[in-house]
Amino acid sequence: MTLYLKFDFHEVCNKVLLNQLETHDIKHKMVAFGEVEILENQDSEKYKRFTDSLKNFHIEIVGNQKSILVEKIKDTIIDMVFNEETVVNVKTSAYLADKLEHSYGYLSNLFSEVTYTSIENFLIIQKIEYAKQLIIKGDLSLTEIAFKLDYSSVAHLSTQFKNTTGITPTAFQRIITKRRALKN
């Protein structure tokens, strides 16, 4: 039996993090997605056990300021793309600059320096990942998906989808349909 899962990335991450904080009895305050304030000093052994447990979930604590800001950029983009309640009617550059309180030029240069890719490429990858999830879910047409992801047309979505995955969204839909038919 194959299960097709739909999940909220933010909610899953928060649940894992909260579970590990409680398991290790660490008093904390959730500040924002990916940001936790530890409310009391931890002995080094307890802190090491906590960070090691996070590694089991591929979660690591970011140490330097540049990496922290890059993670905030990624989190903001992911929230912008995947969060149904986030409605962005401005350019990505203005949105990021406003949310992170830095000029877009600075954010863009920093992101490229640390990740060796551009914010635009990261945004495209996130949009295509979300498009794949929406196609798998099957509730929306390609036109509706293109509109939802703020593409100017289905052709624009298709071009970026093919450049990113190597196949068109229609071919991806056919593959999903065939796999479901074979499983049934």
3-state SS record for 10-50: HHHHHHHHHHHHHHCCCCEEEEECCEEEECCCCCHHHHHHH
Domain count, the chain: 3
Residues 105 and 129 in one domain: no
Confidence of residue 1 (pLDDT cuts 50, 70, 90): low
Residues 134 and 184 in one domain: yes
At residue 88, the pLDDT reads 59
Residues 143 and 168 in one domain: yes
Residues 141 and 94 in one domain: no
- Is 182 part of a structural domain of the chain? yes
- Which is more confidently placed, 181 or 103? 103
Residues 136 and 180 in one domain: yes
At residue 167, the pLDDT reads 93
> What CATH code is carried by the domain that includes residue 164?
1.10.10.60
Domain that holds residue 87: 63-116
Domain boundary among 97, 116, 135: 116
Of 37-41, 47-51, 110-114, 157-161, give the lowest mean pLDDT range: 37-41
Confidence of residue 54 (pLDDT cuts 50, 70, 90): confident
pLDDT in tens, 22-50: 888 888 887 766 778 888 887 788 888 88
At residue 120, the pLDDT reads 95
3-state SS record for 134-150: HHHHCCCCHHHHHHHCC
Residues 142 and 180 in one domain: yes
pLDDT in tens, 61-110: 767 788 888 989 998 998 888 876 665 567 889 999 999 999 999 999 99
Domain boundary among 82, 99, 116: 116
| Nearest in space to 142 (alpha carbons), one of 121, 110, 171 | 171
